[in-house]
Structure formats: structure tokens, C-alpha cells
Amino acid sequence: MKKFFQYAMMVFALLFIGIIALSIAGIFSFVNTSQPSLKEASILHLQLKGVITGEDEFLEHLVEYRDDDHIKGVLIEVDSPGGVVGPSQEIYAELKRVREELNKPVVVSCNALAASGAYYAAVAADRIFANPGTLMGSIGVIMQFTNLEKLYNWAKMDFFTITTGKYKDSGSPYRSMREDERQLFQGMIDEVLVQFKDAVKAGRKNLRSDDLDQYADGRVFNGIFAVKHGFADELGTFEDAKRYIGELTGLGKKPHLFKPKDTPENLIEWLNQNTKFESSAHQLIREILPVQLAGKPLFLMPGVLGR
């Protein structure tokens, strides 16, 4: 019995040491996270996924690597319902810079979704590939506000707002919106829609103006419709897009893809990326997202805020 306990304690000690070693290795890898180096002619492979809020590393990676002489082009996988207007337009502008100033081709492969702000970004590409069932388009702008006035009245709570002008608290959840405020916001997003349509018109040369005016009403359409009417260029998979940009850049049908690593900014983010905590964290983000985006002009696919 004594020997049994000795063996058991030894096994326990070894397991404990192993767990500590793995933990230290994980923390060490977090602290010493480094990007892979470019050693051969490559295509920069980036992914535009989820709601575009300006808080991801897409632009950071694009700006960091696009000037490298080893990078001969940019291939982007898109699976996004869109997002905030400003960040979507910034992605569009920086992709145009790659094409026009660096003379490097940009190709987009649309997966499940390439809607609204994600489509806005995609039209900066030389060529857009889409699957037949890809949901695309949603060319339009949306703003949503919450009026909690009746809830506060039920709770017998009063709120007082002091402003320097009648529009300073427009969109406040504490009161109903006036008609002049509605017209103000409507005029603003109408102007942003013109910017969206201008970007699509400039980026998709095969798209007729009549089709753009007819279908730029916020509707979503599939990949077959998009190619037929000029909103996308070709039906094809990611592999088709990869082959296309490889041949376009002279790197062959199977070009080397360089994919930067997402670098966590802190240990919590590292744990979020490497443990089951990720699913619960993403669920929490999905729950609070409508609050984060309320009152902002959005290039966002209909229904995303209400999920």
C-alpha cells in the first residue's frame, strides 16, 4: 500500500509539472508571438470576416505587408454582413491604393456573405469571385435607434438633458424623435448611399447604371444574380480566385499564399483565441453588438442587428 501511494504521488507530481510546463509554454508563446517572415514571392492572403467595426487586424496587416517586394498581389476571403460606414470605406480606400499606387492586383473571393460594407470593400478589387449561393449586395445604409421613454415612465424615472443646440441630443433613447430630426438623419444616410453607389459604379465596369439604380435598394441577391448583372465578375471558389491571381501575377496556378498571424494584445485575448472561452466571449459580443452599433450609419445586411 505504501508503494502504491508513492507511485500515485509520483504520477501526480509528473502531471502537475507537465501542466505547469504547458502553461509556461503557452504564456511564452503569447509573449513572443511573431509574424512569419516573407522569403519568397507570395500573394498576401487576408480574411474579412464578421461585422466590420474597425477593431480587427485586417487593415493593419494590409498596410504592413502591401509594400513588401515579395508581395505580388492581395487575395481576400470575404464572409461578412458589413458593418460601420467609416471602417468599410477605409478598407475600400486602402485596397484601391494597392491597385493604383503599387500596381498590385487585388482579387476577392466571396464565401457565404459579402453584403453591404463588405461588398463596398470588395468593389475595390480587380476581380470578384462568388459562389452561386453567396449572399451579396445589400447596397444601402441603415441607422437604428432605441426609444426607452415608456420604460422610464413605467419606472417613474425622469431624465433632464442640457444641450447647446436642438440637434445635440438627437437620437436620445430618453425621448421620441422629432420629425425634423428624422429628416436630418434621412438626409445624412441618403448622402452616404450616393457614396456607396459611386464606389460600386467606379469598381464594376460591367455594371449598367440602370441596374445599379434599380437594385441599390438594400436588397440581397445571390452570386448567380450578381454575376449576371455585373455586381460580381465570375462564379468560382476560393481555389479559382487563387489560381486567377496566381496566373495574373506570374506565380502560376498554385501561388504561395502569405497569411499574417493575428497577434493578441494581451493574455486575456490570447486565452480567448486558444481556449473554449472563445465561444462564450463571441456569444457575449453578439448580444451587446446592437447596443454598440445603435445610432451609427451602417453598411450592414438587414437582420444582423436583430439577431
Helix (H) or strand (E) holding 114: strand 106-115
Residue 232 three-state SS = coil
- From 116, 138, 172, 242, active-site residue: 116
Q: Note the residue count of the chain.
A: 307
End-to-end CA distance of the chain, in Å? Answer: 60
Q: C-alpha distances in angstroms, 125 versus 31, 144, 180, 264?
A: 36, 30, 39, 29
Q: What's the grid cell of residue 183?
A: 429628416
Q: Indicate if 42 belongs to the active site.
A: no
- From 23, 166, 168, 279, active-site residue: 168
Phi, psi torsion values for 235, nearest 5 degrees: -80, 130
Q: Indicate if 168 belongs to the active site.
A: yes
Q: What's the grid cell of residue 295?
A: 445610432
Distance CA 22, CA 20 (A): 5
Closest CA to 114 of 242, 301, 259: 301
Phi, psi torsion values for 246, nearest 5 degrees: -65, -45
| Active centre residues (catalytic) | 116, 168
